[in-house]
Amino acid sequence: MNRMISVLRKYVRNTSGTILVMFAIMAPIIIGSAGMALDFAHAYLVQQRLAQAIDAAALAATAQATDEATIEQKVKDFFEVNYPEEKLGATFDPVVVVEGNQVKVTGRAEYLTFFLSVIGIHEILVEAETTVQREVQGIEVVLVLDNTGSMASENDEGIENIEALKIASRNFISTLFENTSNPESIKIGMVPYSNSVRVGRYGLGRNPDNSIYANGYVFVNLPSGISYTTSHNSASGWYGCVVEHKQTNYNAAATHVSGSAGQLWRTGSGTGCNTADKCRGHGWAPNSTTNDPYDYDVLDNYEGKWDIYMYGRLVANNEKCSDLDSNSYDFSNSTPSRCSSCSGSGGKCNATYCYCMVGTSGSQDDGPNTGCPYAYIMPLTSDEEALYDRIDEMRPDGNTLGNIGMAWGYRLISPEAPFEEGAPWDNPYWRKVVVMMTDGDNTENTYYSSYWFTNKNNMSVTKFNTRFAETCEAMKEQGVIIYTVTFNYEDQHGNPVISENTRNYYRNCASSPDQYYDAPTQEELIDVFEQISRELSNLHITG
């Protein structure tokens, strides 16, 4: 036993130097490995804090801002205030990239090492990125509503269709506002239509209460001798509807022909349309039967000016207004003051062309505002009560020109003049929607409409339908969501009031088959509007 202990002591004495040498060699590796693990563990924690920081900054910025530059600045501000360098180490400004509804934020930070610096590694660069899918914060909706004469039809209980439309429209508006905690995120406009649309005082740079609108921008020509009126049955006042125009051949310096109520404009000197070549001052040529405002009646590329809508007739030299009388309308042959240059024998036209303003006598007369909707356009607004007031003004009158209603719906939802309340087309925070409703096929008035005198244009129902389709496609290309509704009740003979051809146009106009509705009863019309409004309530952030 003593011998064995002696041998062991001798071995230890002989190898202790070698172990110390080996330990001396391995110590830096062992310590370095442990230090490296600690440094990388701390770097990972910094990376996690960085990821949390850019997540929070991105969410905070996209919840408060709209445009790319503002989002980027808010990300940096939030990042700087809430995650200073002492929390993360040296940091770099986060990089913000906005692509459509996505906001991508990338951040970097430097972790200053402790152990690794011994071997020359003084910092570790860490990165993190996040992508936030922005939700639509607001919604703009334009209701394009049929206010034509057929909306006076009644159901079995004696309730007019226009009253059902009023209920449906009110419910639509109330549903949207009830489902948001921020009324400013809802903007609704209205386009009641028939032969034309009523832009009213807006066209004169005024609000309905006569206060200044749009900095006083005037987009309607109101000629001398004609004043704005709030009476639909006014014998001579302009009620607020307009005639479509093409900018070609439009001469801003043209002179209004006295007594023509803004329907004849001449170039050069003189007072009347004494020669045909000088009587096309505003794009319409009285000596032509092919006048056509295309494509200014389809696209949102015309900002005015528009001429006023004044229902009447155009007659040629030596004709009397009564020569074209249908006995449904009184053109007051005995009152030359209602005719431009009707100073010839027996009140005949004493110029190349004359305009005859329709009278107000007779059971079927509405005067020069025949076919002009009682309710005027409502630009996009968040004023819920003002929208209800506008609905209350709706009354049935006139023929169906749904394509013109849709064109003005396009002009309302657009950010360009004449109505500029709409958000920019590329603003990802606002969703744009048009709800288009009709109770009948497009029809051409016998004498006058938005397309000026019927015997002086080359329009037809086929063209109305085709242009309606073009307007729909143009809006969809701009990202507008379109819902269409055909109020297809049965007439007194039990036949649907809307043809299959028209239903197809409305079906194709909608953004998808699921966004087209055919409502055969007043109750279903009301239900459809409520269903659409509930769908739209889910398209925006409610708080």
pTM recorded for the entire structure: 0.76
Lowest-pLDDT choice from 88-102, 279-293, 368-382, 481-495: 88-102
Separation of CA 173 from chain center: 16
- For the packed helices 500-509 and 461-477, what is the interaxial angle rounded to 10 degrees? 20
In 3-state terms the chain splits into helix, strand, coil percentages (rounded to 5) of 40, 20, 40
What is the Cα gyration radius of the chain? 37
Q: How confident is the model at residue 27 (pLDDT cuts 50, 70, 90)?
A: low
Residues 6 or more apart whose CB falls under 8 angstroms from that of 469 comprise: 505, 508, 509
> How confident is the model over 186-199, as pLDDT tens digits?
999 999 999 999 99
Calculate the alpha carbon distances from 300 to 269, 296, 329, 409 in Å.
Answer: 34, 7, 35, 10
Contact by Cβ (8 Å): 433, 501? no
Written in H, E and C, the secondary structure of 419-457 is CCCCCCCCCCCEEEEEEEEECCCCCCCCCEECCEEHHHE
Q: For the chain, give the mean pLDDT.
A: 84
What is d(CA 243, CA 188) in angstroms, rounded to the nearest whole number?
Answer: 25
Distances (CA, A) of 104 to 130, 362, 410: 6, 69, 33
What is the DSSP secondary structure assignment for residue 275, as one 8-state letter? Answer: S
Among residues 472, 385, 468, 483, the alpha carbon closest in space to that of 436 is found at 483
Reported confidence tier of residue 19, pLDDT bands at 50, 70, 90: low
Give the C-alpha distances (Å, rounded to integers) separating 421 from 89, 281, 426.
47, 31, 14
| Residue 189 token pair | 């406009």
Strand-pairing partners, residue 198, are: 241
pLDDT tops 80 at residue 68: no
Distance CA 13, CA 488 (A): 110
The per-residue pLDDT for range 337-346, each reduced to its tens digit, is: 678 888 888 7
* Alpha carbon distance 386, 372 (integer Å): 21
What is the structure's pLDDT at 128? Answer: 82
Residue 478 makes CB contacts below 8 A (sequence gap 6+) with: 414, 425, 432
Question: CA 434, CA 405: separation in Å to the nearest integer?
Answer: 11
